[in-house]
């Protein structure tokens, strides 16, 4: 059904594809979490988007001046590739975009615990996933595993509240994470944000520390969200409020959203539930184009098909409690 010929039929829709990074080589802090596209594949996506849609400037989105048949790219997590790879490409292509960042990681003094887990898994892989080491790590988190796959699954999915214990694993494996962050420059710097802002790009909050929000109280959720938007306003000359949910927006309550609308009635909030309409026009749903194994045209069509399918099964409009 997802024939690329259908693409022309779905052009009336405005779409918001998102990515994390674009890179031509593997990298330890990402490679055990998800797949990503290389430069050539990303350029191909841009060509497809430009052929079928008009570029939407974030400025027009903030002014509620969005026309049909447009697209706007956004990038989550503030990884250094948004400055070293994506920013030059977008400039050359005459495109603007929004970058959603976690203030705690800017300048590389600390990083996302999921990225640490990926670095650890890379080292465990390089040393052959020794059973006694896996057991020691399991003991730190009070889980057992009977296979490498089971270990990986349990380790990647540890709770946010257990993230401090990841540092114990780094110690156990003698990984100096501060060195890693400084050497690899995993995240962008304040200077780089300023440079991109000066060039007409937009930045939004993505929480302070990228927690799975569902594991926090509503008060903690609201603070994580609003502080990240405020941080951008305090450090740069930003007067707008943009925000994207980390991991998933699925379990976000009406109450937390209402707090955000109270904070700034003109806020634009980005989710990742595909092409759906949320409870409020200020919530924009995105879909990921990051997986290099999925054909881009097909994926855009599939997302559109889901929209019509969800409409039929009455799930198009997201209900929130």
User: Do residues 4 and 297 make contact, with C-beta atoms less than 8 angstroms apart?
Assistant: yes
Q: How far apart are CA 93 and CA 276, in angstroms?
A: 28
Stretch near Zn ion under the rule CB under 5 A, chosen from 24-32, 75-83, 134-142, 158-166? 75-83
Stretch near Zn ion under the rule CB under 5 A, chosen from 245-253, 256-264, 293-301, 313-321? 245-253
Residue span 30-69 as binding mask against Zn ion, x where in contact by CB under 5 A, dash where not: ----------------------------------------
Kindly list the distances between the CA atom of residue 213 and the CA atoms of 71, 118, 220, 244, 252, in Å, as whole numbers in the listed order.
28, 21, 8, 12, 8
Instruction: Output the smallest distance, CB 144 to Zn ion, in A.
Output: 30
Q: Which residue has the tokens 């290389």?
A: 38
Residue span 108-147 as binding mask against Zn ion, x where in contact by CB under 5 A, dash where not: ----------------------------------------
Q: Is residue 204 a contact point for Zn ion (CB under 5 A)?
A: no
Two tokens, residue 291: 């997986």
Q: Is residue 76 a contact point for Zn ion (CB under 5 A)?
A: yes
Burial class (CB in 10 A: 0-12, 13-18, 19+), 317: exposed
> Binders of Zn ion among 148-177, rule CB under 5 A?
none
Closer residue to Zn ion (CB): 45 or 76: 76
Q: Is residue 303 a contact point for Zn ion (CB under 5 A)?
A: no
* Residue 189 backbone phi and psi in degrees, to 5: -105, 170
Q: Say whether 133 sits in a helix, a strand or coil.
A: helix
Residues 77, 81, 249, 303: which binds Zn ion (CB under 5 A)? 77
Q: How far apart are CA 125 and CA 274, in angstroms?
A: 34
Q: Is residue 246 a contact point for Zn ion (CB under 5 A)?
A: yes
Q: Is residue 271 a contact point for Zn ion (CB under 5 A)?
A: no
Binding site for Zn ion (CB under 5 A): 76-77, 246
């Amino acid at each position: 059904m997802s024939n690329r010929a259908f693409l022309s039929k779905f052009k009336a829709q405005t779409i918001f594809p998102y990515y994390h990074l674009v890179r031509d080589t593997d990298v330890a802090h990402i490679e055990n979490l998800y797949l990503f596209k290389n430069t050539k594949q990303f350029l191909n996506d841009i060509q497809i988007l430009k052929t079928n849609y008009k570029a939407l400037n974030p400025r027009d989105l903030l002014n509620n001046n969005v026309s049909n048949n447009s697209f706007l790219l956004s990038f989550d997590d503030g990884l250094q590739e948004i400055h070293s790879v994506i920013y030059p490409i977008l400039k050359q292509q005459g495109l603007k975009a929004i970058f959603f960042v976690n203030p705690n990681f800017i300048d590389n003094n600390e990083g996302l615990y999921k990225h640490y887990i990926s670095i650890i898994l890379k080292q465990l892989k390089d040393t052959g996933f020794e059973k006694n080491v896996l057991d020691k790590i399991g003991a730190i988190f009070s889980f057992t595993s009977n296979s490498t796959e089971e270990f990986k699954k349990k380790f990647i999915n540890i709770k946010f509240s257990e993230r401090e214990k990841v540092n114990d694993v780094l110690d156990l494996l003698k990984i100096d994470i501060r060195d890693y962050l400084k050497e690899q420059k995993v995240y962008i710097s304040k200077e780089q944000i300023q440079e991109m802002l000066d060039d007409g790009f937009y930045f939004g909050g993505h929480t302070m520390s990228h927690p799975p929000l569902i594991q926090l109280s509503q008060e903690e959720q609201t603070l994580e969200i609003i502080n990240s938007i405020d941080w951008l306003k305090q450090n740069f000359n930003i007067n707008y409020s943009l925000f994207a949910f980390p991991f998933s927006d699925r379990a976000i309550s009406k109450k937390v959203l209402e707090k955000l609308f109270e904070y700034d009635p003109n806020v634009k909030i980005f989710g990742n539930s595909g092409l759906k309409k949320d409870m409020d026009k200020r919530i924009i749903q995105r879909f990921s184009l990051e997986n290099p194994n999925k054909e881009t045209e097909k994926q855009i069509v599939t997302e559109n098909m889901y929209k019509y399918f969800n409409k039929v099964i009455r799930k198009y409009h997201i209900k929130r409690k």
